[in-house]
A and B are shown apart, each in its own frame.
Chain A
């Protein structure tokens, strides 16, 4: 737990661009909120590994979003059922169902399409929000944080030693 916290701090305080960190959060949201064994998650994994997305943040956020995904599963399924059964969209879904990608994407499961829609919206919203938060943290809050007594105490604690060892 301490190591994970230290790794997050390391990533936040590192010189990696906020885009890399924000992309990690957004992509973790998609892979975490949607059922793991879905075709789109192979693509997400490829993007995460191929592009310089911060792996630490991604691996930390993934399980957190998975827990959130389980919590919102009923909502996702209800939304998915609405999306799949909207009369105007049925011809499109039928066409997609009759393609190889469509057949393997499992989009025709209410939970898959519902959670994917929620995850996409959340991912798009999370990217700029987390980017702003990271920039602000580094520019304003980091210096302020270091002045707090709690932080000073923390620096004297075991977590700081772990952080230092991770940094080195």
Chain B
């Protein structure tokens, strides 16, 4: 009986060709859908592509008319490009990696109007941070209200004290185990007796030094290993000291944080301090938080790199990562050229080595953008990933003599406060690592003229008039500290204008309330004077480590090799 079915082979080939053809016809749509889905998720608003051109020989893709809506203003595009064209390296594609030698973005426009809303259903988390600021007032509260509020409050200070106690207790336990005198003595005794045995043999016959050379080497190795572990203990001691010192600092700052938390329940936050931060901050801080979210998402990817990451279809399961000899990132754009012009503003830019996962690129990623028109602006971003756990990103940016026409200054419940004229100069500089951020932006607006909404309160009208009479206003935005909980603040020389505007009586009332809340918190928290319970222990442990090392050094000095 024949076991071969030749028409079956023909059917297989025809099926294969048909599948390739179907893929070729559907691929542009699939690429467009993928870009729209991933882009929308990243931007937080609709990303749309009109059509995609796909060429197989050589493999290249062109995205025609790509638009990304502004998540904060859905009837406007954040970005629009006429054409994005790039060719893909076929060889690396065989390894499931996309390498683009040059990507050209032309016809770039920003802030263009949309005919339909670009909002995503449900919106994006950070969008919710751009809130309308309610009016400033001091509520009428009694001593009982304050007492009840503080009693009910889950005070941060108490939590931090508890955490500190736990840390101190754990550290003490760890050190008691690590510096177990008996165990160490047993190990030293063993080394000492081995040394004595070898020394005795050497004394009997000098030639034994040659015979026992391997034993001497082993002894040296053992002593070195023991000293290495002692050195590691020394490092741990420093780290533990640092940890305790940070936690004590955090506990001491606790009452201040608690005060802010309780005061914000009365709608007063920092009291009458930081009004610029309260009112103008929401215009700027969401962008910083979004940038930080982006960095954190990379950090998350690096954390799970070697473990399971992707969840695909039900049957496929989780992906397990193995060492990849093809050291390319999943996606790499070696060079990117950007050109565009919109409403008298021209944009040109270049980018190098942009990709995902960035630590596999091997070279720093760079993006340079130049805007010219109503002034000039330069943005220079450089990001260097030495490894998955080490990143240094630098931002330097300057805006010079940029004429303002309609820039949102702040938002209150009555509507937007717009800067209708003025000249903007700004410097933005920052460093971000995977652990911390140090960013500052200085904005100086000369001859500001505000257009305010109707029905604003008296103090807000006073404030608007005062700002309009200023020669220039200066705002400084800073973001510093740990990446997980950065301190973002907007301060300004016009803080006094805010304070003057709200009036002396209100200020005094707020300060009085703040003082009462502070006293109640201090009463509940108790004495924070004696927090460091391990200061004596640390010196004791340091001494023990040094003594142990001296004993080992003594044996090492006597080893004959």
**Is A73 a contact of B314 with CB atoms below 8 Å?**
yes
**Is A109 a contact of B312 with CB atoms below 8 Å?**
yes
**Cα separation A132 to B3 with both chains bound (whole Å):** 20
Interface flag for B505 (CB, 8 Å)? no
The stretch from A1-9, A79-87, A120-128, A142-150 touching chain B is: A79-87
Contacts of B3 in A (CB 8 A): 51-52
**Is B316 a contact of A111 with CB atoms below 8 Å?**
yes
Contacts of A80 in B (CB 8 A): 317
* Shortest Cβ gap from B9 to chain A (Å): 5
Interface flag for A97 (CB, 8 Å)? yes
**Is A111 a contact of B322 with CB atoms below 8 Å?**
no
**Is A93 a contact of B322 with CB atoms below 8 Å?**
yes
**Cα separation A114 to B320 with both chains bound (whole Å):** 12
**Is B320 a contact of A81 with CB atoms below 8 Å?**
yes
Given A52-B3, A104-B96: A81 in contact with B12 (beta carbons within 8 A): no
Interface flag for A45 (CB, 8 Å)? yes
Given A93-B322, A108-B320: A115 in contact with B1 (beta carbons within 8 A): no
Contacts of A98 in B (CB 8 A): 322-326
Interface flag for B265 (CB, 8 Å)? no
1/0 per residue, CB under 8 A from B, across A11-26: the answer is: 0000001000000000
**Is A46 a contact of B12 with CB atoms below 8 Å?**
yes
**Cα separation A98 to B324 with both chains bound (whole Å):** 6
Interface flag for A70 (CB, 8 Å)? yes
A112: nearest chain-B partner, CB-CB: B316
Contacts of B96 in A (CB 8 A): 103-104
Contacts of A85 in B (CB 8 A): 320
**Is A90 a contact of B322 with CB atoms below 8 Å?**
yes
**Cα separation A111 to B315 with both chains bound (whole Å):** 5
**Is B2 a contact of A106 with CB atoms below 8 Å?**
no
**Is A51 a contact of B317 with CB atoms below 8 Å?**
no
**Is B94 a contact of A50 with CB atoms below 8 Å?**
no
Contacts of A161 in B (CB 8 A): none
* Shortest Cβ gap from B4 to chain A (Å): 7
* Shortest Cβ gap from B233 to chain A (Å): 29
Contacts of B9 in A (CB 8 A): 46, 49-50
B318: nearest chain-A partner, CB-CB: A110
Q: Please report whether the interface of chain A is mostly helix, strand, loop or mixed according to DSSP.
A: helix
**Is B4 a contact of A35 with CB atoms below 8 Å?**
no
1/0 per residue, CB under 8 A from A, across B322-339: the answer is: 111110000000000000
Among A34, A81, A109, A111, residue most surrounded by chain B Cβ atoms (within 10 Å):
A109
* Shortest Cβ gap from A49 to chain B (Å): 4
1/0 per residue, CB under 8 A from A, across B1-40: the answer is: 1111100110110010000000000000000000000000
Interface flag for A76 (CB, 8 Å)? yes
Contacts of B312 in A (CB 8 A): 109, 111
Residues of A within 8 A of B (CB-CB), count: 35
Contacts of A70 in B (CB 8 A): 314-315
* Shortest Cβ gap from B331 to chain A (Å): 16
**Cα separation A112 to B319 with both chains bound (whole Å):** 10
Contacts of B57 in A (CB 8 A): none
A-B pairs with CB below 8 Å: how many? 92
**Cα separation A52 to B5 with both chains bound (whole Å):** 6
Contacts of B12 in A (CB 8 A): 45-46, 49-50
**Is A115 a contact of B315 with CB atoms below 8 Å?**
yes
Given A50-B4, A50-B5: A109 in contact with B318 (beta carbons within 8 A): yes
Residues A15-61 near B (CB distance < 8 A)? 17, 34-35, 45-46, 48-52
**Is A109 a contact of B325 with CB atoms below 8 Å?**
no
Contacts of B95 in A (CB 8 A): 100, 103
**Cα separation A110 to B324 with both chains bound (whole Å):** 18
Contacts of B287 in A (CB 8 A): none
Contacts of B1 in A (CB 8 A): 17, 52
Among B8, B96, B320, B324, residue most surrounded by chain A Cβ atoms (within 10 Å):
B320
Contacts of B315 in A (CB 8 A): 34-35, 69-70, 73, 76, 111-112, 115
* Shortest Cβ gap from A100 to chain B (Å): 6
**Is B5 a contact of A111 with CB atoms below 8 Å?**
no
* Shortest Cβ gap from A165 to chain B (Å): 24
Residues B277-316 near A (CB distance < 8 A)? 308, 312-316
B1: nearest chain-A partner, CB-CB: A17
Contacts of A77 in B (CB 8 A): 317-318
Interface flag for B321 (CB, 8 Å)? yes
**Is B5 a contact of A109 with CB atoms below 8 Å?**
no
**Is A94 a contact of B323 with CB atoms below 8 Å?**
yes
Given A34-B315, A76-B315, A103-B95: A94 in contact with B4 (beta carbons within 8 A): no
Given A35-B315, A73-B314, A109-B316: A52 in contact with B324 (beta carbons within 8 A): no
**Cα separation A100 to B95 with both chains bound (whole Å):** 7
Given A73-B315, A76-B315, A103-B95: A52 in contact with B320 (beta carbons within 8 A): no
* Shortest Cβ gap from B13 to chain A (Å): 9
**Is A114 a contact of B317 with CB atoms below 8 Å?**
yes
**Is B317 a contact of A109 with CB atoms below 8 Å?**
yes
Residues A116-143 near B (CB distance < 8 A)? none
Contacts of A97 in B (CB 8 A): 322-324
Contacts of B314 in A (CB 8 A): 70, 73, 111
B96: nearest chain-A partner, CB-CB: A103
* Shortest Cβ gap from A15 to chain B (Å): 10
Contacts of A103 in B (CB 8 A): 94-96
State the B residues within 8 Å of A (CB): 1-5, 8-9, 11-12, 15, 94-96, 308, 312-326
Return 21 A-B CB contacts under 8 Å, by A number. Answer: A45-B12, A50-B4, A51-B3, A69-B315, A70-B314, A70-B315, A73-B315, A76-B315, A77-B317, A80-B317, A94-B323, A97-B322, A98-B322, A103-B94, A106-B316, A108-B319, A108-B320, A109-B312, A109-B316, A109-B320, A112-B315
Q: Which 7 A-B pairs have the closest CB atoms?
A: A111-B317, A49-B8, A110-B317, A77-B317, A97-B322, A35-B315, A98-B325
